[in-house]
């Protein structure tokens, strides 16, 4: 359906859902949904058991949960703050739901190693993703990108529509280069926010108030994720409103209403141009959507994938 704004609902009784929404707004989703230890329970076994793919200019560190042939694949693209280590709650939940989950560290992040200094920042994330899929002989897959990973997911979706089954983008400005969008960002962004500590601008206040241990774990992952001298990879082609409007892949767009960097009002400007999209809002959740409220986030994604 063209430019739809379909809200994703969990399979709860409506009264219970309303109660959870109210709790989520006041206490933070981890408290409301009993998720205060979800991140601690999801250990780092998947990340430590990853492997390297020898690709063009990089040894790309990736995780692959394949347990049997012909599993439907979902690929996870991490944000600029953090590495694929952040995906532990999703890797666990999606693999238990029967999906083959693949997550990788972009070059310059986590454990991936550029072959030479000149290869640091070379190629786009979209190109590295395409090379990894070729290396693993994967023809069709679902793609999920959060924040900066959402930039790359949209970039890939525009270039390789035949390779995608579904697309999920969460908490992302889409890194649009249109002057009109840059002007909107300038009008709504809190002055000086980019100079504040990363966790302060990216992890929502409800989560920081309710989950000191989880906040500390997020900060530790973020601090060790970006390698010294890293150069950000450019998009294969600049993201524009016209480029996004051509994406035909069924897409789920997830926003956090406490997101200071990609607020719902900003995300609607590009999401409403997607030909086939559904919209989900996570009350009380900040920029780190999948980390702050993993159970809710995972359920939204799985409900969308299983339709």
The pLDDT assigned to 275 comes to 93
Task: Kindly indicate whether the domain formed by 14-305 is annotated with CATH number 3.40.50.300.
Answer: no
The pLDDT assigned to 8 comes to 39
The pLDDT assigned to 44 comes to 54
The pLDDT assigned to 48 comes to 81
Rounded CA gap, 23 and 43, in Å? 27
Burial class (CB in 10 A: 0-12, 13-18, 19+), 136: middle
User: Can you list the positions of beta strands (E) in the chain?
Assistant: 51-55, 58-64, 73-77, 100-104, 113-114, 141-146, 164-170, 251-256, 277-282
The CA-atom distances, in angstroms, between 217 and each of 147, 178, 214 are 19, 36, 5
The pLDDT assigned to 14 comes to 38
The pLDDT assigned to 11 comes to 39
Identify any residues that bridge with 167 across adjacent strands, giving them in sequence order: 143, 251
Is the separation of the CB atoms in 306 and 278 below 8 Å? no
- pLDDT tens, position by position, for the chain (307 residues)? 444 434 433 333 333 334 344 344 334 433 334 344 444 444 456 888 899 999 999 999 999 999 999 999 999 999 999 999 999 999 999 999 999 999 999 999 999 999 999 999 999 999 999 999 999 999 999 999 999 999 999 999 999 999 999 999 999 999 999 999 999 999 988 899 988 989 999 999 999 999 999 999 999 999 999 999 889 999 999 999 999 999 999 999 999 999 999 999 999 999 999 999 999 999 999 999 999 999 999 999 999 999 8
Domain residue spans in the chain? 14-305
The pLDDT assigned to 194 comes to 87
DSSP state of 226: B
Rounded CA gap, 2 and 275, in Å? 5
Tell me if the pTM is above 0.75: yes
Rounded CA gap, 235 and 177, in Å? 11
């Amino acid at each position: 359906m063209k430019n739809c704004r379909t809200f994703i609902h969990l399979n709860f009784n409506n009264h219970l859902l309303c109660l959870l929404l109210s709790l989520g707004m006041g206490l933070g989703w981890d408290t409301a949904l009993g998720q205060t230890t979800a991140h601690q329970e999801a250990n780092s076994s998947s990340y430590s058991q990853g492997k390297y793919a020898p690709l063009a200019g990089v040894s790309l560190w990736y995780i692959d949960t394949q347990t049997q042939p012909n599993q439907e694949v979902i690929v996870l693209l991490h944000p600029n703050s953090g590495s694929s280590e952040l995906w532990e709650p999703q890797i666990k939940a999606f693999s238990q739901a029967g999906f083959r989950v693949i997550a990788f560290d972009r070059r310059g992040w986590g454990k991936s190693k550029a072959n030479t200094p000149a290869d640091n920042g070379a190629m786009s994330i979209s190109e590295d993703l395409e090379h990894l899929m070729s290396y693993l002989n994967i023809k069709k897959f679902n793609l999920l990108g959060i924040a900066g990973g959402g930039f790359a997911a949209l970039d890939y979706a525009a270039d390789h529509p035949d390779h995608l089954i579904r697309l999920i983008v969460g908490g992302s400005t889409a890194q649009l280069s249109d002057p009109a969008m840059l002007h909107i960002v300038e009008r709504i962004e809190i002055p000086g926010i980019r100079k504040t500590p990363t966790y302060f601008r990216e992890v929502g206040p409800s989560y920081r108030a309710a989950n000191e241990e989880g906040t500390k774990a997020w900060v530790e992952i973020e601090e060790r994720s970006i390698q010294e001298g890293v150069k950000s990879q450019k998009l294969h082609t600049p993201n524009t409103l016209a480029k996004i409007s051509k994406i035909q892949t069924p897409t789920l767009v997830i926003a956090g209403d406490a997101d200071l960097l990609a607020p719902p009002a900003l995300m609607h400007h590009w999401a409403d141009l997607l030909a086939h999209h559904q919209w989900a809002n996570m009350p009380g959740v900040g920029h780190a959507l999948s980390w702050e409220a993993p159970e809710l986030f995972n359920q939204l994604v799985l409900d969308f994938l299983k339709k």
